[in-house]
Each structure stands twice: as C-alpha cells, then as structure tokens.
Structure 1
Amino acid sequence: MAMPTNIGVIDTMLDLPYASRDWSSQFGDRLRDDDSRNQRFVHPAGFLFKDPPQVERGPDAIGDTLREMDRFGIDKALIGVGDAVTIEAITTHRDRFLGHVMIDPAGGMPELARLTEMYEKHGIAAASFFPCGCGVPINDKRAYPLYAKCVELGLPIFVNAGVPGPRMPFAPQHVELIDEVCWFFPDLVFVMRHGAEPWVDMAVKLLLKWPNLYYSTSAFAPRYFPKAIIDYANTRGADKVMYAGYYPSGLSLERSFAELPSVPLRDEVWPKFLRENARRVLKAD
C-alpha cells in the first residue's frame, strides 16, 4: 500500500494564487453572519482549516505555481479560469494546466454562452457548479440546460455535494439530488466535490449505481478522507475516486503530500487515484 512517488499526479482542484476576492459581493445574501460578510477568514470556509496557506499573487503567479507543482510531483492541475492570468496559464501551458469554469445556472443563457466560448476559444476541460453558493439545487430545472450543454460539449462537471463549508443552507447540495440528474442525463460525467458529508454512504451507493458518477477528494486533508470512500476505492470503486487537493484555498501542498502516504489505498489503486482516473475523466492526453 505504499504511495508511488513518480506517478505524475493530476490534481483535480488546485488554483493559482488568488487576486483579491470580494466574497461578500460574490455570494451576496447567501452569507449573513458577520464573520463571513466582513471577510474575517481567508475564504468563507476558512474557519474550518487550522493553518490555511497565505499565498499572495505575485508578478509570476504561473511560474510560482508550476514550481510548487514540481516540488510535489504534480504533473497537471485542474484550475479555475476567470481572469487573464488563469486564461494565460491554460493556453500557454496546456501540458500542465487544465481549466474549469464555474457556472451559475441562475444566470440563464448568458452563462451557457460563456461556457461555450471558454470551451471553443480556450479549450477548457470541465465545468463546475457550486449549488449552495448559487442557491440553485443540484436537480433544479435551472441547472438542466447546464448539464445538457456539458453533454453536448463533452465536458465533465464538478459539483459541490454535502454540507458546505461556507455558512449557507445545505439543502441545495443534498447528495440524494444527484440521483435524478444521473438518471435524466446518463451521458453526463458528474464529479462530486467537497466530501458529500454527512451522506457519504449514500454517495457510495450512487457511485455504484451510476456509471458516469465520480468522486473527488477536494477540500479534505488526506487524514480526513471519509473511510467509506477509501473502502469503496479499494474494492469496486478503484476507477471512480480521484485525488484533489485544496491549494491555495485551505490546504498547503506540504500538508497534503505529507499525509497522503498514510492513506490506506491498495497498491493497484494508487495510480488510478493519483492520475489515471482524472486523466480519463478530463481527457488529459
């Protein structure tokens, strides 16, 4: 069960150092407590992390990130794309960065047009959707055009599932809502993000049920990966669970890669978990 050190990791959630971010404006009245609205945390879920990294965007944000990736054997990373620097990263370093675009289904057709443009112009590899941040449930009719567009473009979609870290109502991310989406869109490649807790057992049942449903370990330090997910990966789910860190949002790469070797994955599962599953889902070749 030793973790290989030369696998060429594909990290399904890593970002360049952030420019200044106004969380209060981004999420509006979804955040109502004073700590969140006054941005007393590194980000709205920052209170959950003991020592979140403090990484400022410098003049060479792309180079700084590549050097960090090289330190820890990360071959490729899926990053959020929205500004000129992140677009530059995925267009000038296609061998290292894959882009995803976060879409708000409440935005209607302009959001779908933005997704299409980012795919056609910049070659993004995925879409993403934060249901609690948008106030749009996973199975809401407003999200259905987004799912349909992902199927049309051949893009996987990464969707937050389970109780969110930010202090928002959790109902939009109840794991049971995924069942309807996978039923209605059997060709949609749907990846759960951010743990699916406390409904991990249900998540495993759905992973068993739906061929195109996957799980990403984002936002969890490796020592806290849900046991049910590791058990599933070691048995019938070896092809369904993929590694994601949370750098620089809440976890340092030092911490993640110090704890990863203690994750009790079987020898044959490690290459799939660290690289092959993400390579297939993201068409990273």
Structure 2
Amino acid sequence: MPIDPSKVKAIDVHVHAEVSCHDPEDPVMAQFFDAASAYFKAPRERPKIPEIIDFYRQREIAFCLFTVDCESAVGAKRVSNYEIAELAAEHDDIVIPFASIDPHKGKMGAREARDLIENYGVKGFKFHHLIQGIHPSDRTGYPIYEVIAHYKLPAIFHTGHSGMGTGMAGGGGIRLKYGQPMLVDDAASDFPDMKFILAHPSWPWTDESLSMALHKDNVFIDLSGWSPKYFPPQIIRYANTQLKHKMMFGSDFPLITPEKWIAAAQEVGFKEDVLPLILKDNAVRVLGLG
C-alpha cells in the first residue's frame, strides 16, 4: 500500500542503509564509519535495513532510504540497490526506495537506473560526488541523469562539508571541492525535468545553495546532516520567507536521529506555519506522494 501522507507525522528524505542483510560490513567503509561516528558522536554499530524500518515505523515517520555507491573512487562494495528496493516494496507504506549509482559507471549505470525504476519501483537517486571522486556536472554521469530526467524523478546531491572522511589521514582521500553547490548548477540547467535536492546546509557554501534554490524551480534543499541548532542563520531566514516551499526535513540517520532533529527544529525560530511544510508537505510535493 503506497504511503498515505495523512498517516505519517513527517517524511525524512535522508536515511542511509550502510550494511547489507546478506554480506558483512565492508572493511573499507568500516574505516569511514569509524571516523564518522567519532565526528558525529554517534553509535558505531550500523543498523540493518529491517531495523531501520522498524525504527521509523514506531515513530510514524516515512523515509527515503539509500546507499552510497563509491566503488570506483574508494573501492568499497556498495549495499545493493536491489536489496533496498525489494525490502522497501515489502514496506511501501513507510519506505521510499532511492538508489545510488557511481557516476563513473556511465551508460552501464544508466542501464541499472532504468531497470531499478521500471522493474523495482525506485523513486529517486542519491549522489555523493565527494566520496565518488567526480565533479557533479561531469558528462561521464550524464547518461544516468538522462534516465532520471526522463522519469522526472528527484536526486539528492551531497553538498558542503563531509563528515565522511573527517579526521582520517588526508580526509580519507575525499575532495571537499566536489561539495561546492554551484558545481551542480550546470547539471540543474541541463536537466530541467530532474529535481535536484541539495543535501545539508552546504557549509561553507550555504549561500550558493540558497541562491540556486531561489533561481531554479527544479532545485530544492534538504536540511540533513546538522542539528538545526547549528544552522547558519540565513537558513532559518529563507525557510521562513522566500524558500518556505523549497526546504525539506532530513536527518542523516543513523548519525542523527529524526526525533533529535525535530526537537531542535522546534526551538530555532521556524515559523509555526513553516515547520509543517519542512517536516512533510514539501516532501509530499517533491516526491510526488500527494
């Protein structure tokens, strides 16, 4: 049964599936998980997908679930997009399956994207170009974007600083430059039928994300990865005014829990009529759930 927005309290658009139900934790990713847990002061153990589903169901929060495919740049085996999609199909009243495909996979990646959409019900995509080691508007990834645009689906793009790699030698090889939001602007211009969701407050380039969301009707912002109490003040200001229909709740679970994010959001100055838009209504529209 598809998600009924009236039966959930919120929609979390940013939830990570970091370990498979079938395979052991990847040893390369384990190093990044160690560093990220230390940076976020979060538990080191990563929940498996059924545990994530139970967690969100108990809280009556729907959520977008995805892995991050960084096989080319990092050499870490990804959690299967098909595993996520199949489990999401069994719990489609609460889970919205997103897929992640390394942009380096080009046309083969586009072939996988099409199969996931047409045969497995995937509703969106996740890119993390910092850990994927490629410019967000590099033409290598365009065949994948073409498929996403054809089906008019959303894609989440990591922007700003990265907790992944923080504290590791050389930042774990992650290039922060690929997190500059304006690097996504060419792709957002080239694919007007694709919905671009810029993840996180994008620090230290926050104003670039705000500018892009103001400028382009296909650009949105998810506010994951930071507690709202640490948001740059312009996030709150624009959320309460010109961008109140462009911002969405995301937690970055398991590193940040949805209840902690929501509790903090209630204290930072979002207007009474704006917070429901952020927590649910905007995502209903962007994800096509209404």
Fold shared per TM-score above 0.5: yes
Q: Which residue of 2 aligns with 1:152?
A: 150
Match of 2:159 among 133, 154, 161: 161
**Which residue type is aligned with residue 256 of structure 2?**
L
- Distance in 2, Cα, partners of 1:223 & 1:187: 34
| Contact 1:72-1:257 at 8 Å conserved across structures | no
- Mind listing any 5+ residue stretches in structure 1 that lack a counterpart? 1-5, 27-38
**Which residue type is aligned with residue 196 of structure 2?**
F
Cα deviations by residue, 1:73-127 (Å, 9 ceiling, x for unpaired): 31x1100162665233211121211111111111121111111111111111101
Match of 2:220 among 200, 214, 225: 214
Q: Which residue of 1 aligns with 2:13?
A: 12
Q: Report the number of matched residues.
A: 261
**Which residue type is aligned with residue 52 of structure 2?**
T
Q: Which residue of 2 aligns with 1:33?
A: none
**Displacement, 1:172?**
1.8
The answer to whether 1:22 aligns with 2:36 is no
Q: Which residue of 2 aligns with 1:34?
A: none
| Contact 2:85-2:121 at 8 Å conserved across structures | no
Q: Structure 1's 90 and 204: CA in aligned 2 closer, same or farther, altered over 3 A?
A: same
Q: Which residue of 2 aligns with 1:178?
A: 184
1:77 match: secondary structure: strand
Structure 1 residues 216-225 or 82-91, which shifts more?
82-91
| Contact 1:53-1:252 at 8 Å conserved across structures | no
Q: Structure 1's 117 and 143: CA in aligned 2 closer, same or farther, altered over 3 A?
A: same
Q: Which residue of 1 aligns with 2:52?
A: 65
Bigger relative contact order, structure 1 or 2 (CA pairs below 8 A, ≥6 apart): 1
| Contact 1:11-1:244 at 8 Å conserved across structures | yes
- Distance in 2, Cα, partners of 1:198 & 1:273: 22
2:266 match: secondary structure: helix
- Mind listing any 5+ residue stretches in structure 2 that lack a counterpart? 1-6, 68-79, 166-170
Q: Which residue of 2 aligns with 1:132?
A: 130
**Which residue type is aligned with residue 87 of structure 2?**
A
**Displacement, 1:146?**
2.0
TM-score, normalised relative to structure 2: 0.82
Q: Structure 1's 92 and 78: CA in aligned 2 closer, same or farther, altered over 3 A?
A: same
| Contact 1:52-1:251 at 8 Å conserved across structures | no
Q: Which residue of 2 aligns with 1:31?
A: none
- Distance in 2, Cα, partners of 1:212 & 1:226: 23
TM-score, normalised relative to structure 1: 0.83
1:48 match: secondary structure: helix
Q: Which residue of 2 aligns with 1:77?
A: 63
**Which residue type is aligned with residue 48 of structure 1?**
Y
Q: Structure 1's 159 and 234: CA in aligned 2 closer, same or farther, altered over 3 A?
A: same
Q: Structure 1's 16 and 131: CA in aligned 2 closer, same or farther, altered over 3 A?
A: closer
Q: Structure 1's 181 and 112: CA in aligned 2 closer, same or farther, altered over 3 A?
A: same
Q: Structure 1's 43 and 146: CA in aligned 2 closer, same or farther, altered over 3 A?
A: farther
| Contact 2:101-2:127 at 8 Å conserved across structures | yes
- Distance in 2, Cα, partners of 1:206 & 1:10: 23
**Which residue type is aligned with residue 274 of structure 1?**
L
- Distance in 2, Cα, partners of 1:222 & 1:207: 19
**Displacement, 1:272?**
1.0
